[in-house]
């Protein structure tokens, strides 16, 4: 697999988890009482109620052969029904856009356009992104084993891949939040590396 494709896969992992966070942070659904248990259905309802979302992010990637984490920051955006964007601003400007079945990566003067049909190994990841953004709990449960703990005041959501194609890239996604807002997203990769992203939803 090419270095470019590996970069795209890494960015897609972040898109999947972070765009879920954007949807869950949407204010369209009223948050229940802080002491009440939180159900997966409530989170999916909040997600489905938002036709688009924008957030800023700060991410730290912990890579086995580096002593210090690699830090980056930028913005993320979803435009219904099928456009996902990740724009990294620091330390190096980079743009990743998934529009329908076309993935475009731009960095500096370099631009690469990929057709997803040519890369079936990421099909499961893409479908999970779209199921998440649509608030389709049944479709999401076909790809991940979901576990939600806590109350609306403080909760943790774990996603563990059931689909072998997804498991080859990601072993676990953990989200921590409060009320209807996701605060952090941790992605554990199959190769042992992991990333921690702090998210702030934008109006």
Q: Parse the chain into domains and list their residue ranges.
A: 3-201
pLDDT for position 4: 55
Digit-coded pLDDT (tens) for 107-151: 888 898 888 777 766 666 666 666 666 667 787 788 789 888 887
Question: Would you place residue 189 in the very low, low, confident or very high pLDDT band (cuts 50, 70, 90)?
Answer: confident
pLDDT for position 29: 43
What DSSP string describes 87-98?
EEEESS-EEEEE
- Reported pTM: 0.75
- Is the Cβ–Cβ distance between 190 and 149 less than 8 Å? no
Is domain 3-201 annotated with CATH 3.10.20.30? no
How many Å from the N-terminal Cα to the C-terminal Cα in the chain? 38
Question: Would you place residue 26 in the very low, low, confident or very high pLDDT band (cuts 50, 70, 90)?
Answer: very low
b/e 92-122 (16+ beta carbons within 10 angstroms → b): eebbbbbeeeebebeeeeeeeebeeeeeeeb
Query: How far is C-alpha 50 from the geometric centre of its chain's CA atoms?
Result: 16
Helix (H) or strand (E) holding 82: none
Q: In the beta sheet, which residues pair with residue 147? A: 158
pLDDT for position 196: 92
Identify the residue with better confidence: 116 or 72: 72
* Residues in contact with 157: Cβ distance below 8 Å, sequence separation at least 6, in sequence order: 43, 146, 147, 148, 174, 175, 177
d(CA 184, CA 161): 19
Identify the residue with better confidence: 117 or 68: 68
């Amino acid at each position: 697999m090419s270095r470019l494709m590996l970069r795209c896969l890494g960015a897609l992992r972040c898109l999947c988890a972070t765009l879920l966070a954007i949807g869950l942070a949407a204010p369209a659904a009223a948050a229940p009482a802080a002491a009440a248990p939180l159900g997966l259905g409530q989170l999916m309802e909040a997600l489905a109620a938002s036709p688009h979302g924008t957030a800023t992010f700060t991410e730290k990637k912990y890579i086995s052969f580096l002593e210090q984490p690699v830090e980056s920051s930028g913005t993320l955006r979803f435009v219904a029904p099928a456009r996902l964007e990740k724009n990294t601003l620091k330390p190096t400007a980079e743009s990743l856009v998934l529009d329908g079945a076309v993935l475009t990566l731009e960095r500096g003067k370099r631009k690469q356009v990929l057709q997803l049909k040519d890369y079936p190994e990421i099909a499961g990841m893409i479908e999970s992104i779209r199921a998440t953004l649509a608030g389709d709990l049944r479709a999401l449960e076909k790809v991940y084993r979901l576990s939600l703990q806590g109350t609306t005041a403080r909760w943790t959501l774990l996603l563990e891949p059931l689909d072998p194609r997804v498991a080859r890239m990601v072993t676990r996604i953990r989200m921590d939040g409060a009320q209807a807002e996701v605060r952090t997203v941790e992605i554990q990769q199959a190769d042992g590396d992991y990333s921690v992203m702090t998210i702030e939803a934008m109006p």
